[in-house]
Structure 1
């Protein structure tokens, strides 16, 4: 499966799923900022866990949209 990414200006958000030790899944978003010489990455976690990877990915997608929507360029 291709990696899913969303971009806004110099920011790229990549939603992913993390499998937890308790059998649950958690959505995470990697936010990369690339403005030439400086590149930095931050990791955000969904507040809830889900019983399925699909649900966790949907949470991660929503979180990615929220993060990018709050950015001011």
Structure 2
């Protein structure tokens, strides 16, 4: 499954999926600044596991949008 990238100002969020135990999947979001400054929390995890990679990616995309929406530019 291919990662999905979103940008807002100098920030880029990349939504991805990782397999977990028992056939479950978890969505992840990597948040970075394009100017090279380090972020305190660069990786965010979706709270719940999903049964398919597609569901996990949808959850990760929603988290990416939420994180970018909370940023002050």
The alignment's TM-score, normalised by the length of structure 1, stands at 0.87
- After superposition, the CA RMSD in angstroms is 1.5
Figure out how many residues of one structure are paired with residues of the other and give that number. Answer: 71
Q: Which residue of 2 aligns with 1:40?
A: 38
CA distance in 2, matches of 1:2, 1:56: 12
CA distance in 1, matches of 2:22, 2:12: 30
Q: Contact 1:14/1:29 (CA < 8 Å) preserved in 2?
A: yes
The alignment's TM-score, normalised by the length of structure 2, stands at 0.87
Does structure 1 residue 68 correspond to structure 2 residue 68?
A: yes
| Structure 2: tracts of 5 or more residues without a match | none
| Structure 1: tracts of 5 or more residues without a match | none
Q: Contact 1:34/1:40 (CA < 8 Å) preserved in 2?
A: no
Q: Which residue of 2 aligns with 1:29?
A: 29
